[in-house]
Amino acid sequence: MCVTSQSVEQSPLKTSDSDNEDSEDDASLDEDSSSSGSELSSSEPPYKTVRRQTLRESAAAYTAASSKRCLLEQVEVFTGEEEESRVMQITCKLFVFEKSTGSWLERGRGVLRLNDMATEESGNLQSRLVMRNQGNLKVILNSKLWAQMNVFKPARKKLCFTATDLENQVVRVFLIQACAKETARLYLAIHHRLVALRSCCGEQETEENLMGLETEPQASALHCDSEDDER
């Protein structure tokens, strides 16, 4: 009976020692795993860093890319006015008179030029009016001055004249609107050339016929804009 009691009393001690040994082994395994994990985390960064280009590098890359573009060759532009002498040019609005509606229609806005050109046959001086639309440079007026052409000023900033229409090649009534000073200069330049053309043709015109228009529209239709409005 005594032996069994001692054996029973010693058995709990042995089990406690084995449990302590197992716990120590588990702790050592945890330490090893944590140490290995820390080594991995220290050796490999959590994310990759992106290197940014410097200003010099980006400028060099842009220059290299732009140098590969196709360069267009410079082409000489011919306007048809190379052999003409430009008398004057003004920036203005161009209107054409519509007989059917009795109103003015705007053709465009741009630069109107008065050019002189000498003919080789007789040596007589000829002139023409050329106007291109602002932006697309489309020709909206191209008419020579002739002896029967009429011109007059309905207002300080307006000049009315007959000219050949490009669309249907018929004579129509046109009106330009510009500043008063440029309008007066253009009127005098056209007037002097018409007098020279009439004298060459042997036509004797009075001042009243020179200032009149056979197809003169009504005065109310000429007020497309007020005289006090600026360009």
Predicted confidence (pLDDT) per residue in 41-68, tens digit: 455 555 556 667 788 888 888 887 776 6
Domain annotation covers residue 123: yes
CATH label of the domain that carries residue 91: 2.30.29.30
Domain annotation covers residue 190: yes
The pLDDT, as a whole number, for residue 167 is: 85
Domain annotation covers residue 182: yes
Higher pLDDT, 43 or 143: 143
Domain annotation covers residue 171: yes
Alpha helices (runs of H) in the chain, residue ranges in sequence order: 2-43, 55-67, 180-201, 207-211
The most confident of 68-72, 79-83, 183-187, 223-227, by mean pLDDT: 183-187
CA distance 71 to 195: 52
How large a percentage of the chain has pLDDT more than 70?
Answer: 60
The pLDDT, as a whole number, for residue 33 is: 52
Question: Which of 9-13, 79-83, 174-178, 192-196 has the least mean pLDDT?
Answer: 9-13
Domain annotation covers residue 119: yes
Residue 2 reports pLDDT greater than 50: no
Domain annotation covers residue 160: yes
- Mean confidence (pLDDT) of the chain: 76
- Looking at the DSSP assignment, which residues form a beta bridge with residue 17? none
The range of the structural domain enclosing residue 95 comes to: 85-221
Q: What's the gap between Cα 120 and its chain centre? A: 42
The pLDDT, as a whole number, for residue 9 is: 44
CA distance 187 to 92: 14
Residue 75 reports pLDDT greater than 60: yes
Domain annotation covers residue 58: no
Residue 210 reports pLDDT greater than 70: no
CA distance 177 to 91: 9
- Looking at the DSSP assignment, which residues form a beta bridge with residue 147? none
Domain annotation covers residue 49: no
The pLDDT, as a whole number, for residue 209 is: 55
